Structure 1
Amino acid sequence: MKFGISYSTPHHGVDPDKLAAFARLAEECGFESLYVPEHIVLYPGARIGHFELPPTLPYADPLDALTFVAAHTERILLGTGVLLLPYHHPVTLAKRLATIDVLSKGRMRLLTVGLGALPGEAAAVGVDFAGRGRRADEAIDVLRLLWAGGEEGVGFTGEFFDLDGLCSYPKPHGATTLPIHVGGSSRAAARRAGLRGDGFYPGGRLRPEELAALWELARTTAAGAGRDPDALEYTRFGAIDMPEGRAEELAAQGVTRLVVSPSTTEPDEQRAELSAFAERFFL
């Protein structure tokens, strides 16, 4: 079992000293990875389900934040939870991700993408909300083409992107691609993970039977597409205060990574909380 930790700038604030200290603490405690969420823009009345998002929440750009984290750490892997893929152009995104991976010496390896749930956010960046799933599928394909392509250039013709003879350098650090995990709580997200993803990261508000059904769908979809379902990583949310036995239960369900969040923004309390977690699971 691998363990990641989430740093939510809307909850913790965008303070460079606190972010750097938190990242170093997570690395010191032995966490494999650090995840940052994304919203590109908010607006009054924006809702996800029954929860209204205050428009003043300070969502930092996740890739800029992870670049900052990389500069203040040495080992911890960098993750997004989730990057709203349809709202990014894959040509510029491929360049940004490869650059972070090179500068961090191969640590931009837990890119997790989702579709976004706010119609106003899609409209703000000129994306058709209803078509964002198909756009994300094409974007995944374009990213992989650009990373793997050589000096002869690559082309792509789809509903949303039309490219011809493009070269994108630098390449990821020592690799021809970067892993792309798919986040989301829908059957479409599970199918996308099986068809195109390197892993599946479902939402945290699902019942156990719903999670099991989605994971099985991701695996059967992968198998049906001629892919190895056992190669898919399965990431889930976990509680920072969970007992040791809980991780063993989830591992038996196929979970390969748990991502926890601190319950406090107070640095001393965070240190105690993360250290206690490390004593239970890493030492």
Structure 2
Amino acid sequence: MTVKFGISYNTAHFGVDPEGIVEFARHADECGFESLYLPEHVALYPGAKVGPFELPPTLPYVDPLDCLAFVAAATRRILLGTAVLLLPYHHPVILAKRLATIDVLSQGRMRLLTVGLGALPGEAQAVGVDFATRGRRADEAIDVLRLLWGGGADGVGFAGEFFAFDDLCSFPKPYGVTRLPIHVGGSSRAAARRAGRRGDGYFPGGALDAKERAAQWELARSAATEAGRDPEALEYTRWGAIDMTEEDLERLAGQGVTRIVVSPAAAEPEGRRDELSAFAERFGLRAAVTG
């Protein structure tokens, strides 16, 4: 199985200069990266922490979907992804329209949506979501998204704990398909189970040891089997290092990984451009696109 390569761009680290974002995305496209990922935070506040790490409240996290639409207009083939979109903080009826719109306008490139729950209680409070319910909200939201994308002119209905509607139509549909892939991200066993039961893939966080990472992937696969789904259809995405080697690739591929997403490390745009070029050269990405 061929491993695919994605690249992540975090405006919280690299800034929101539009020319810089476009240049980075175009270069990633030209280098042959399969996909471009952006993270999300809806709102920050003083003292917000993810694990032991405090997030400065002035970090400029852009809206990932707006930014991906902007990137789509400036690129030609690179797929668009999130890592992760905080699904419980989005109403799925609105989100279904936004995602389908980007997919249509990009001619089928909004195909690597990865969703997560969020780890900041203050962020949930800011958008009126009970932090304790965000897992159940996410499960319902995934079901609603797929229902709306697959529904026809007669409309569809849904009656859940958090969302309810009757005879609802959502057009346009995604480009040439009846549903967009939804991958599940996270660092918990609950996330792994959600990926198996509802997701098209699993994208675990980086702060896991090898034993727990392997256990979660097996849990995702077994949850898929228990839900009557094909575990072999699950994609397995992992974070990698921009300076990773062929040996690193072989090790990850041996663990069943189907996609590796790396992040540039250089502080300056020229350095990031060089890192992408070197990575593409090392793994023959340009040849894979043009061959």
Fold shared by both chains (TM-score > 0.5):
yes
Which residue type is aligned with residue 4 of structure 2? K
Matched, 1:136 2:114: no
Please point out which of 172, 185, 191 is paired with 2:174: 172
Which residue type is aligned with residue 189 of structure 1? A
Which residue type is aligned with residue 169 of structure 1? F
> 1:264 Cα shift?
1.1
Which residue type is aligned with residue 111 of structure 2? R
Distance in 1 between residues matched to 2:58 and 2:88, nearest whole Å: 23
Give the equivalent residue in structure 1 for 2:190. 188
The DSSP-based 3-state class of the residue aligned with 1:31 is coil
The two structures have a TM-score, normalised by structure 1, of 0.99
Distance in 2 between residues matched to 1:228 and 1:35, nearest whole Å: 26
Matched, 1:24 2:64: no
Which consecutive residues of structure 2, in runs of 5 or more, have no partner in the other structure? none
* CA distances 1:183-240 after superposition (whole Å, capped 9, x unpaired): 0000100000000000000001111111100000000000111100000000000000
Distance in 2 between residues matched to 1:272 and 1:54, nearest whole Å: 28
The DSSP-based 3-state class of the residue aligned with 1:160 is coil
Distance in 1 between residues matched to 2:20 and 2:255, nearest whole Å: 35
Distance in 1 between residues matched to 2:83 and 2:176, nearest whole Å: 24
Give the equivalent residue in structure 1 for 2:270. 268
Structure 1 consecutive aligned stretches of length 4 or more whose deviation exceeds 3 Å: none
Which consecutive residues of structure 1, in runs of 5 or more, have no partner in the other structure? none
> 1:37 Cα shift?
0.2
* CA distances 1:67-105 after superposition (whole Å, capped 9, x unpaired): 011000000000000000000000000000000000000
The DSSP-based 3-state class of the residue aligned with 1:217 is helix
The DSSP-based 3-state class of the residue aligned with 1:41 is coil
> 1:265 Cα shift?
3.1
Please point out which of 31, 54, 57 is paired with 1:55: 57
> 1:244 Cα shift?
1.1
Please point out which of 204, 207, 210 is paired with 1:208: 210
Distance in 2 between residues matched to 1:212 and 1:281, nearest whole Å: 25
Please point out which of 94, 101, 111 is paired with 1:99: 101
The DSSP-based 3-state class of the residue aligned with 2:37 is strand
Distance in 2 between residues matched to 1:170 and 1:33, nearest whole Å: 23
Distance in 2 between residues matched to 1:145 and 1:270, nearest whole Å: 40
Which residue type is aligned with residue 47 of structure 1? K
Distance in 2 between residues matched to 1:48 and 1:61, nearest whole Å: 19
> 1:270 Cα shift?
1.5
Give the equivalent residue in structure 1 for 2:11. 9
Which residue type is aligned with residue 247 of structure 2? G
Percentage of identical aligned residues: 76
Distance in 1 between residues matched to 2:222 and 2:228, nearest whole Å: 10
Distance in 1 between residues matched to 2:100 and 2:231, nearest whole Å: 26
Aligned length: 283
Distance in 1 between residues matched to 2:86 and 2:5, nearest whole Å: 23
Give the equivalent residue in structure 2 for 1:73. 75
Q: RMSD of the TM alignment (CA)?
A: 0.6
Distance in 1 between residues matched to 2:68 and 2:152, nearest whole Å: 27
Distance in 2 between residues matched to 1:215 and 1:227, nearest whole Å: 15
